[in-house]
Amino acid sequence: MLRTEDITSAAFICPASAATPDNFGGRPHTAIEKSNFPSADFLSYSYANPYPSAAAARLGYKLKQGISPDFAVAADMNPGSDALTTLTLGSPISEFRKGNSLNHNGDGQNVLYGDGHVEFQNNPLCGSHRDNIYTYGDSGLDAKTDMNRSTGGAGILGSPVSIEDSILLPALNVEQVVPAAEPPPAVVAPNSVPPAVDEGTDLMAWALWLLVACVLAAIGLAVFAAVQRRKKSRPSEPG
């Protein structure tokens, strides 16, 4: 949007946050030289993940005009806290604060909805059917039974699993939610000293194979020559 629209990087900064507008490295550098926001220091909002899971794609998940008016499209940045996946509609206010954006000191977040209106919400279970807007997977209310779900979602970083599943990214403090992959264990050779090579044995083996190949070639040539001689000595048949 910064590359193609007439807006500045300040539009992506919440005035209540500590983030600052990106100057792209100072003049003469511009947004055209950037591929993404370098960090949360220059971005304080999260946007709905537009890449659905296979299940959501089959159901018709797509960010487009005409989406549900209660679908969360964007909001203050996802806090990425461990508490998010434990939040249910029965959670106390003190727990909800742990899942709110840090932009407003845990009081809540401004949420942009599918019909274009913005509303301040005091907890993250504020999407379609009270979906947790900061997690993917089942949360809030079951769309079929309208019953409270017992989970706040499957995780922070992932794809929507249904049409109503809004997952706003990027997430702050994601290293606390998704552990870094452990490096594969080093492969230790049982013996660091390579075995000695018997070069004499190797040379004898190559010489033996070469001798066999020569003998076979000689036999083949002898058979071919004998066949040719026999053809020449055979009397011609009368016409």
Reduce the secondary structure of the chain to three states and give it as a string: CCCCCCCCHHHHCCCCCCCCCCCCCCCCCCHHHCCCCCCHHHCCEEEECCCCCHHHHHHCCCCCCCCCCCCEEEEECECCCHHHHHCCCCCCHHHHHHHCCHHHCCCCEEEEECCCCEEEECCCECCHHHCECCCECCCCECCCCCCECCCCCCECCCCCCCCCCCCEECECCHHHCCCCCCCCCCCCCCCCCCCCCCHHHHHHHHHHHHHHHHHHHHHHHHHHHHHHHHHHHCCCCCC
Q: Are 78 and 101 in contact (CB under 8 A)?
A: yes
219, pLDDT greater than 90: no
Tens digits of per-residue pLDDT, 125-151? 999 999 999 999 999 999 889 899 999
- pLDDT in the model for residue 39: 87
Q: What is the mean pLDDT of residues 187-212?
A: 54
Higher per-residue confidence, 173 vs 38: 38
169, pLDDT greater than 60: yes
Q: What are 110-116's contacts with CB under 8 Å, separation 24+? A: 110/14, 110/75, 110/76, 111/72, 111/74, 111/75, 112/72, 112/73, 112/74, 112/75, 113/69, 113/70, 113/71, 113/72, 113/73, 114/67, 114/68, 114/69, 114/70, 114/71, 114/73, 115/69
- pLDDT in the model for residue 209: 63
Q: Are 159 and 135 in contact (CB under 8 A)?
A: no
What count of Cα atoms within 13 Å lies in the side-chain half-sphere of residue 78? 32
Tokens standing for 238? 């009368």
- pLDDT in the model for residue 180: 43
Average pLDDT, rounded, for the chain: 83
Q: What is the mean pLDDT of residues 100-118?
A: 96
Domain positions in the chain = 1-43, 46-177
217, pLDDT greater than 90: no
181-209: buried (b, 16+ CB within 10 Å) or exposed (e) per residue? Answer: eeeeeeeeeeeeeeeeeeeeeeeeeeeee
Tens digits of per-residue pLDDT, 45-77? 999 999 999 999 999 999 888 889 999 999 999
